Structure 1
Amino acid sequence: MMQSEQLIWSEEGWQAVHGQLQQPAGLVLLFAARERLTPACLEQVAARYPGALLLGCSTAGEICDTRVLDGTVLVTAVHFAATSLELVSETLAAAGDSTAMGRSLAARLPQAGLRHVLVLSDGLEVNGTELVAGLRQGLPSGMGITGGLAGDDTAFGETRVVCGRHAARGLAAALGFYGERLRIGHGCLGGWDTFGPQRLITRSAGNVLYELDGQPALALYKRYLGEHAAGLPFSGLHFPLALSGPDGKGGLVRTVQAIDEAEGSMTFAGAVPEGSYARLMKANLERLIDGAAGAARQSCSGLEGGSAQLALLISCVGRRLVLEQRVEEELESVRDLLGPQARLCGFYSYGEISPYLPTARCELHNQTMTITTFSES
């Protein structure tokens, strides 16, 4: 059975938060404010947990149990009794593009006995949609993939991924889990309300949207936002787009990252394909909190009747900004669903990686709460 402990590291020393390991850690999940990810920090963590794999990233807020922290280094150390791990990484510069990056990560993971892949990626330089597509291409059909994109508070300046004693921009890391006694579940839900008419994406390129129904996308978006348009792109976090295919099916949400006044375009945190339909969304605080609980409920389905021992929560920075002082309520709703025995850790992100439904393929999402649960018998 796995064990875990949580600590907060600072230059003044270590502060114990939850639990205490009785066995050496095999994995350390490390989530921190970008400026805290210094060589000294990583050396201290590695020295405390010799032999453990270090995986983590910069954040827009660290999740520790039911608290949201800022400016900290949150360490969750895990001992697995009967699970082995493989950690690989790739830089965007070496891969050439984000799809090739995903395929390279997949190819470097031994596939015999592979149960699940957890991926953390740069949140600004890497195209998350293409990264996930590359992973799907390189991994066995139906392989579980979850994870998220690193954050940088609300600055959107640069993000970093930790792999071993190294933290860098333009990096993605994939952790493979192996072991018959390991059970893994995942859930992903939003909770936003749609409004206004559905519009056809008539011109786009990757994650840049130029036209909706043949009209300049930015002008149309501003018209709907009204007085909130003056705050773009930041205010766009409150008004994401819901995407659906020509058949009306979907489930993807996209958040504005940047706007181009000259081109009349908007850049999103994931792909906005031509031929898809888009509809505006707005916040409903109760539904956002219920969405987090729903994601927790979904994540239990893969545990085959067992209880979660470790839960990785990756929620969008946009949800945090909308929920404001109520943000910890979405974490409390997860705790209520998973029970007191589960160790909760995670971060607020620039994108979430998960199947939207347990049987669906993995995608990049925005504005969702994504939960991966682990249990070892």
Structure 2
Amino acid sequence: MKIIQASKLARGGWSYIQEKSKLLNPLVLVFGNRLLLANSEVLQDIRNEFPYEDLVFGSTSGEISGSSVNDDSISVVAIEFEKSSFIVKRDNILDHNKDAKLLGEHLYEQMPKENLKHLFVLSEGSFVNGSSLISGLETNMEDSGLSITGGMCGDDARFEKTLASYKEDPKEGEVVLIGFYGSTFEVSYASFGGWIPFGPERVITKSVANVLYEIDGQPALDLYKKYLGDKSIELPQASLLYPLNVTPDGKKEPVVRTILNIDNDTQSMILAGDVPVNSRVQLMMASVDGIAQGANTAANYGMKNRTTAPELALLVSCIGRKLVMSQRVEEEIEHVREVIGQQVPIAGFYSYGEMAPFNGETACELHNQTMTLTLISE
């Protein structure tokens, strides 16, 4: 596997981590600020610098390149496989009446199945229900050994819109699915947060998919605002610092849910993933040290039981973690590097939602506020 990484600030030239060289039919992942990815001159510059066919674009809430976390930049990782191969498919949720489950089913149906080892998802992040998308991808999945990881695109803390694409210029509504193939391809993954639940545990009494209406029979938004106090005037951005810990009825493992938006008229909250009725729910908070340690834990889970050393680490971390850590955000990348090895290339982005199985499992889940790793080698 040969990897080239480069980044470019909004008003700067290209900076390479590895020496620039020509690659043979690489998979090129382009993570960048949404406003830059909407700029035709920036896009032409990217295509000139990386004149390859298989370019995948995704907007972010921060770009990860090596040990650095950048804002208002473009980060590129180009991957040339020696023994493995990849296939990329795309679809747009606007072509499926915004039905994420249907889109997921359609995307998986397009992907050739022979020797398929892993799927990586890069999804629109502002109105795609990530839980439903995963459900659609897994609906007809017969191979119990096939795994899914990935993330929802971001838009800094603006929450206006996100962009993604394959080959074409980035646009709204796009979901990109990358399939990795080959008997020698090895992938491991992990996801962990480091957030701490607090306050009483309550029960969700009214919800529809990812819209939360009532908790303990009370309007959800009203109850949430009481907890936030003065910070409630900063919603929905303030909710990134106080996500919900949700344990669906009948499940042991909780998932963290970020609040993407609020509806004052219905006193409801729109979350990044499903929040089923009868789920137990608590508020969460975090410290910088707790989040950094969470990245360390995720990396240790990801390295467990690998047969070969990783050759690339794809990191998807949550914008909420970035806001809490602020100037110390690169510490969580350093925690990952200390575990996986100083020489392993690291690339990725800050997201509106992370996708990975629970540690030790294969069924994918949508997570929020986690550090999620996909470690690959061949």
Instruction: Give the TM interval when normalised to the shorter protein.
Output: over 0.9
Q: How does 1:193-342 map to 2 (within 5 A)?
A: 193-247=196-250, 249-301=252-304, 303-304=306-307, 306-342=308-344
Question: Hey, what does 1:347 align to over in structure 2?
Answer: 349
**Structure 2: 5+ residue stretches without partners:** none
- Is the partner of 1:102 in helix, strand or coil? helix
Aligned-residue CA RMSD in angstroms? 1.7
1-structure distance, mates of 2:285, 2:78: 37
Question: Hey, what does 1:71 align to over in structure 2?
Answer: 72
2-structure distance, mates of 1:370, 1:153: 18
Q: Deviations over 1:317-341 (max 9, x none)?
A: 0000011111111010001011122
**Structure 1: 5+ residue stretches without partners:** none
1-structure distance, mates of 2:126, 2:237: 15
Q: What displacement does 1:12 show?
A: 6.0
Q: How does 1:82-101 map to 2 (within 5 A)?
A: 82-96=83-97, 97-101=99-103
Counterpart AA for 1:3: K
1-structure distance, mates of 2:21, 2:82: 12
Q: TM-score, normalised by structure 1?
A: 0.95
Whether contact under 8 Å (2:24, 2:80) holds in the other structure is yes
Q: How does 1:101-120 map to 2 (within 5 A)?
A: 101-120=103-122
2-structure distance, mates of 1:24, 1:296: 30
Question: Hey, what does 2:365 align to over in structure 1?
Answer: 363
- Is the partner of 2:326 in helix, strand or coil? helix
1-structure distance, mates of 2:245, 2:19: 40
Q: Deviations over 1:119-158 (max 9, x none)?
A: 1010012111111110111333432100000001111111
Task: Please say which of residues 245-254 and 262-271 is displaced more in the overlay.
Answer: 245-254
- Is the partner of 2:204 in helix, strand or coil? strand
Q: TM-score, normalised by structure 2?
A: 0.94
Question: Hey, what does 1:122 align to over in structure 2?
Answer: 124
Q: Deviations over 1:239-269 (max 9, x none)?
A: 1111113346123100111112221111111
2-structure distance, mates of 1:15, 1:282: 36
- Is the partner of 1:103 in helix, strand or coil? helix
Counterpart AA for 1:131: L
Q: What displacement does 1:181 show?
A: 1.3
- Is the partner of 2:329 in helix, strand or coil? helix
Whether contact under 8 Å (2:322, 2:350) holds in the other structure is yes
Question: Hey, what does 1:53 align to over in structure 2?
Answer: 54
Task: Please say which of residues 219-228 and 106-115 is displaced more in the overlay.
Answer: 219-228
2-structure distance, mates of 1:42, 1:353: 27
2-structure distance, mates of 1:53, 1:365: 28
Question: Hey, what does 1:3 align to over in structure 2?
Answer: 2
Aligned residues: 374
Whether contact under 8 Å (2:236, 2:259) holds in the other structure is yes
Counterpart AA for 2:64: I
Q: What displacement does 1:95 show?
A: 2.4
1-structure distance, mates of 2:171, 2:360: 32
1-structure distance, mates of 2:330, 2:184: 32
- Is the partner of 1:359 in helix, strand or coil? coil
- Is the partner of 2:338 in helix, strand or coil? helix
2-structure distance, mates of 1:83, 1:43: 29
Q: How does 1:32-47 map to 2 (within 5 A)?
A: 32-37=32-37, 38-47=39-48
2-structure distance, mates of 1:275, 1:83: 44
Q: What displacement does 1:40 show?
A: 3.8
Whether contact under 8 Å (2:246, 2:255) holds in the other structure is yes
1-structure distance, mates of 2:329, 2:283: 22
Whether contact under 8 Å (1:115, 1:144) holds in the other structure is yes
2-structure distance, mates of 1:11, 1:325: 21
2-structure distance, mates of 1:282, 1:11: 36
